[in-house]
Amino acid sequence: MSKKEFVDAYAKATGETKKRAEELVNQFLETVEETLLKGDSVQFVGWGTFEVKERAARTGINPQTKKKLKYLLKMLLNLK
């Protein structure tokens, strides 16, 4: 489901206008994003917890050329 489809479904379910539903969805997403960027998790009881996990930097090998590659530190969004 795309964001637009979600906004449309939310507007239909709540009786809000599509414009107001989009504003509410955007505000919700901004709040979740700000919380995660601060390093906190966002928990929805009975549904799941969003959290940012850190994948350590590492080295790897390209299987075709056998050259060493460096993978940088990476931040991942996790839902569990």
The one-digit pLDDT tens for each residue of the chain (80 residues) are 999 999 999 999 999 999 999 999 999 999 999 999 999 999 999 999 999 999 999 999 999 999 999 999 999 999 99
Q: How far apart are CA 65 and CA 55, in angstroms?
A: 25
What is the structure's pLDDT at 5?
Answer: 97
Q: Are 16 and 26 in contact (CB under 8 A)?
A: no
pLDDT of residue 62: 92
d(C-alpha 29, C-alpha 9), whole Å = 16
Contact assessment for residue 17 and residue 44, using Cβ atoms and an 8 Å cutoff: no
Classify domain 41-80 by CATH number: 4.10.520.10
